[in-house]
C-alpha cells in the first residue's frame, strides 16, 4: 500500500489519534519518550496524535495498592 493511500485511509477513518502512554517503571521510562518521538516524526503521514499519560506499574502499586487502576484501562 502506498504512503498516500495509507494517509488517505487513516485520515478518512480518523482525524485524530488518541494514544495511551504507560511509562510505568523499568524500561518504559526510556522507551516511551522515544516511541512518542517516533510517532511525532511521522508528521502528516498519520492523523494528529493526542498522547494521554496513564498510571500503572510497581511504583503506582506501592503508593496505591493496585498496579493497574481501572481509569488506566478505560
Written as tens digits, the pLDDT of the chain (74 aa) is 677 656 665 555 668 899 988 877 777 788 999 999 999 999 988 999 999 988 888 888 999 999 889 888 77
Parse the chain into domains and list their residue ranges.
3-73
Q: Write down the pTM of the prediction.
A: 0.65
β-strand pairing of 48-53 with 16-21: parallel
| Pair 59, 25: CB distance under 8 Å | yes
What pLDDT, on the 0 to 100 scale, is given for residue 8?
61
What cell was used for 55?
A: 498510571
* Sequence-ordered strand ranges (E) for the chain: 16-21, 48-53
Amino acid at each position: 500500500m502506498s504512503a498516500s493511500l495509507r494517509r488517505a485511509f487513516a485520515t478518512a477513518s480518523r482525524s485524530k489519534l488518541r494514544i495511551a502512554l504507560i511509562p510505568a517503571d523499568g524500561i518504559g521510562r526510556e522507551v516511551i519518550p522515544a516511541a512518542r518521538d517516533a510517532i511525532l516524526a511521522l508528521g502528516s503521514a498519520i492523523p494528529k496524535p493526542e498522547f494521554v499519560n496513564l498510571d500503572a506499574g510497581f511504583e503506582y502499586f506501592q503508593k496505591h495498592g493496585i498496579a493497574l487502576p481501572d481509569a488506566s484501562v478505560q
